[in-house]
Amino acid sequence: MTPHKDIDPADPFRLGGIELGSRLILGTGGASSHLALERAIRASGTELVTVALRRVDPDAPGSLLDVIDRCGVRLLPNTAGCFTAAEAVKTAHLAREAFETDWVKLEVIGDQDTLLPDPVELIAAAEQLVNDGFTVLPYTTDDPILACRLADVGCAAVMPLGSPIGSGMGIRNPYNIRLIREKVGVPVILDAGIGTASDAALAMELGCDAVLIASAVTRAEHPERMATAMRHAVQAGRLAYRAGRIPRRLYAEASSPFEGMAEL
């Protein structure tokens, strides 16, 4: 792993006690093949990818873990598909057994159609897993108060959605994302809803510390190309955030001086 390849040394990204060399976290769901996934991982520059835990498939071609190892990236297991805190906690413990990591992307879903988080179950699961020694990265709604509560119980980051998982609807409430960034002390990772590069750039311009992208890359017509686009977008958005944008104005402000104009 090349350390800090996409990161300005003056602006390091620390998550769960480690420094990551990219502010892009890639979800592996939706890739058409391991080869397509490997190309996307490499093109994205990511150093952290999510995986789900499912029943073993004796007929599965190749090993997802081998792909992840070859790319030299870290693995972040998720609790996707869990509807209760009890299920999610158990899944996290199984993932710890399987992958020897205490990191978990905590998902507790409240509804099959929207895949929106269930805030009550989410808080309960987060609290339990923090007590069990996990580094908990919860997928949450864009509610600033809920984000604060998750940070208060000891989550290592909060991961608010921009819009529902896989919807590609971008960031529906940028105001809330900005409030979350201002109100919590832990890293804020925009998770879910990103459709294209400008959405990722906007997340970073709003002050998010990182973005987590799956479908927008893996289900793009050209995943490797989109992974490259996201890589640039995340870096551009972060730079723009740190550069300090000009204020929005109702009227124009000339960039060429009027002084010294010829009389014609």
Partner 1 sequence: MNVQLNGANHVLSDDASVADAVSALTTAERGVAVALNGEVVPRAKWRSTRLSEGDWVEVLSAKQGG
**Contacting positions for partner 1 (CB under 8 A):** 27-31, 37, 50-58, 63-65, 68, 75, 77-78, 80, 90, 93-95, 97-99, 165-166, 192, 212, 214-215, 218
In order of 87, 122, 160, 193, the CA distances from 128 in angstroms are 12, 10, 20, 27
- The Cβ-side half-sphere exposure at 52, using a 13 Å CA radius, reads 12
> In angstroms, what is the minimal distance from the CB of 55 to partner 1?
4
Residue whose CB is less far from partner 1, 68 or 233:
68
> In angstroms, what is the minimal distance from the CB of 11 to partner 1?
27
What is the Cα–Cα distance from 211 to 21, expressed in whole angstroms? Answer: 13
Query: Which residue is catalytic, options 5, 90, 105, 183?
Result: 105
What is the Cα–Cα distance from 94 to 90, expressed in whole angstroms? Answer: 6
Q: Tell me, yes or no, if 183 is annotated catalytic.
A: no
Q: Strand pairing of 13-15 and 18-20?
A: antiparallel
- Neighbour count for residue 210 (Cβ, 10 Å): 26
Nearest to 230 by CA among 4, 10, 31, 27: 27
Residue whose CB is less far from partner 1, 76 or 179:
76
Residue whose CB is less far from partner 1, 5 or 70:
70
What is the Cα–Cα distance from 46 to 41, expressed in whole angstroms? Answer: 6
Residue whose CB is less far from partner 1, 92 or 184:
92
> In angstroms, what is the minimal distance from the CB of 14 to partner 1?
23
> In angstroms, what is the minimal distance from the CB of 5 to partner 1?
24
Active site residues: 105
